[in-house]
Structure 1
Amino acid sequence: MTQGPIRADFDQYMIPTYAPAAFIPVKGKGSVITDQQGKEYIDFAGGIAVNGLGHGNEKLKQALTEQADALWHLGNGYTNEPVLKLAKQLVESTFADKVFFCNSGAEANEAALKLARKYAHDKHGANKNEIVAFSNSFHGRTLFTVSAGGQPKYSQDFAPLPGGIHHTEFNDIEAAKALINANTCAVIVEPIQGEGGVVPAQVAFLQALRELCDQHDALLIFDEVQTGVGRTGHLYAYMHYGVVPDLLSTAKALGGGFPIGAVLTTNKFASTLSVGTHGTTYGGNPLAAAVANAVLDQINQTAFLQGVDERHTLFITKLNEINEKFALFKDIRGLGLLIGCELIDTHSGQAKVISNLAAEQGLIFLIAGPNVIRFAPALNIPIKDIETGLSRFTAALDIYLKKE
């Protein structure tokens, strides 16, 4: 009998871009995954906020298999029925008039930034090309988006980087006022900084950015790759804040595990990307669009989104109880089911250590930098799985403190 792949095969055959866990998941159902040895884990990671409906969702499987029996791929010399339905769903559910489809969050942000520069170039000339972004932000791994991201550790080894990108402090209105000017073509911001530590934007900060962009005819881009598609208890986080962007990037949970991304915008800006100015081979793929339609059919419902809020309340209540016992976290924050627990200074840098201990107890979650534990589970995670997962989290923290 031929042995299947083992963890050591990663080290032998894969470019070492990642450092994956020692175990290999092979099956998932709902919010439980099983590894090669049959050990089960409660999934609080959600594929980095991708698996909004968990693993093995029956309606997503049905949509994918039905589309697989019909039409797989065409390329953008043709349109297709699933992508037209998806565009209509997104437009009718948001501020947008038009949608551009791609394959990932990075690609969506790349398209948004390109659109913003071209719009400014066409209307104002070549000098209006500067982009304002924020410290500790994350917008993707392409050279353009990693330069817009406010974490030098992701960009410094790839110089020379695209120019005209300036960073200032997140949630600092006065700093934004000092930097945004007549040469600014775009401001890109995450409503909640995910990779930067699960830090929500202040309402007044986003309102100020909207006013500054209007004042200087700059495009306001909301990066909702992680916060979109129900993650915050609204279909998109801008709805929570009541601040409407000019461009919005979305990906991750939009496909529920099938790669897809999109840029949402209004008629005013959509015509900037005329025929031939931008493109992507797989963007608008019928398989991806069919799955995304099934995702929206389920998530974009009042009762479902209310369920996200209810689960948020349960998480926060239980995490505060855990913190009363262990006193490990200086802050527990977030919206909906994007939650961050920031370690106190005396335990700085230990988020990954705690994550590894949790996996031993049968729980997986994310980190957001070395000091923040990040939870982004399925939006429909069963209550019993939340309780079981947090019980395992408690056990892991207990073991961690005894080892200290």
Structure 2
Amino acid sequence: MDGKPTANDLSEVIAADKAHVWHHLFQHKALEENDPRIIVEGKGLRVWDQNGKEYLDAVSGAVWTVNVGYGRKRIVDAVADQLLKLNYFAAVNGSIPGAQFAEMLIDKMPGMSRVYYANSGSEANEKAFKMVRQIAHKKYGGKKYKILYRDRDYHGGTIGTMAAGGQIERNLQFGPFPDGFVMVPHCMEYRKEELGLGHLSGRDFGIAAANLIEEVILREGPETVGALCLEPVTAGGGVITPPEGYWERVQE
């Protein structure tokens, strides 16, 4: 790319994107005949592409990650100030914003006491899985190593988190996956007939769906199960909210 692209001519940017950028969740064959969409600016809840077309961003950065919106000057200024003061130091040491933000998070998470910072959801879940395995070795002779995950749920794009992924289409051609991950049924009432629970609805269905998890635990052996990994609301698998009574029974 030669020089800085102008606001009115992004042809070099488009060419560079088509030649060098590997987009996720995208079939690149379409770019043989069409230009990629380049998002160039955002303000509030809206973004604009290279052609000036305006979009209402109803999915927070396309993957639910920009919950605060775009162009928030107060946030930009705070980030810039911290970058000048100290942009990074390994977490083996503490930092002022790290300690302060951890305290703020814990205030919103009753029952929790510590925060482990990670770069992504995939990395955070990988760390949680490692904790489960480490605890299994330190306290249970390595026996409580199994991690239960739910059909249709998504927990990340690494090999470990895909092993705990309930979306078969996403996992095709990426195996084999690590052992010790066991799927439990989902609680989507729309598919209750497939679960053999077609005669139930509402709270009764929610409790019965949660009981299916217990059946898997008993089948696998409670002494081998170290964790249960569930999305509070299944997102990529359909934006599915669990029915009433489900979470209470799961916690029991």
* Runs of 4+ deviating beyond 4 Å: none
Q: TM-score, normalised by structure 2?
A: 0.77
Q: TM-score, normalised by structure 1?
A: 0.49
| Matching residue of 1:89 | 104
| Matching residue of 2:235 | 194
Letter in 1 for 2:121: G
Q: Over residues 153-212 of structure 1, what are the superposed CA-to-partner deviations in whole Å (9 max), with x where a residue is unaligned? A: 22231222111111121122232111112211000001100001000123422222222x
| Matching residue of 2:41 | 27
Contact 1:121 1:127 in 2 (8 A): yes
What CA distance in whole angstroms lies between the structure 2 residues aligned with 1:122 and 1:182?
14
Contact 1:133 1:166 in 2 (8 A): yes
What CA distance in whole angstroms lies between the structure 2 residues aligned with 1:169 and 1:11?
41
Q: Is the counterpart of residue 45 in structure 1 residue 86 in structure 2? A: no
Q: Is the counterpart of residue 134 in structure 1 residue 150 in structure 2? A: yes
Deviation at 1:18, TM superposition (A): 4.1
Q: Over residues 4-35 of structure 1, what are the superposed CA-to-partner deviations in whole Å (9 max), with x where a residue is unaligned? A: 44434333212354428832111111011122
What CA distance in whole angstroms lies between the structure 2 residues aligned with 1:77 and 1:175?
42
What CA distance in whole angstroms lies between the structure 1 residues aligned with 2:211 and 2:118?
35
Larger Rg: 2
What CA distance in whole angstroms lies between the structure 2 residues aligned with 1:17 and 1:139?
16
| Matching residue of 2:159 | 143
What CA distance in whole angstroms lies between the structure 1 residues aligned with 2:243 and 2:139?
31
| Change beyond 3 A, Cα 1:94–1:134 | same
Contact 2:17 2:36 in 1 (8 A): no
* Structure (1/2) with the larger strand percentage: 1
| Matching residue of 1:11 | 18
How many matched pairs? Answer: 211
In structure 1, runs of 5+ residues without a counterpart are 212-404
| Secondary structure of 1:99's aligned partner | coil
What CA distance in whole angstroms lies between the structure 2 residues aligned with 1:91 and 1:57?
25
Q: Percent identity?
A: 28
What CA distance in whole angstroms lies between the structure 2 residues aligned with 1:92 and 1:164?
34
What CA distance in whole angstroms lies between the structure 2 residues aligned with 1:30 and 1:17?
25
Greater RCO (CA < 8 Å, at least 6 residues apart) = 1
Deviation at 1:121, TM superposition (A): 2.5
| Secondary structure of 1:132's aligned partner | strand
| Change beyond 3 A, Cα 1:130–1:108 | same
Contact 2:18 2:36 in 1 (8 A): no
What CA distance in whole angstroms lies between the structure 1 residues aligned with 2:135 and 2:92?
24
What CA distance in whole angstroms lies between the structure 1 residues aligned with 2:49 and 2:210?
47
Letter in 1 for 2:82: Q
Contact 1:91 1:99 in 2 (8 A): yes
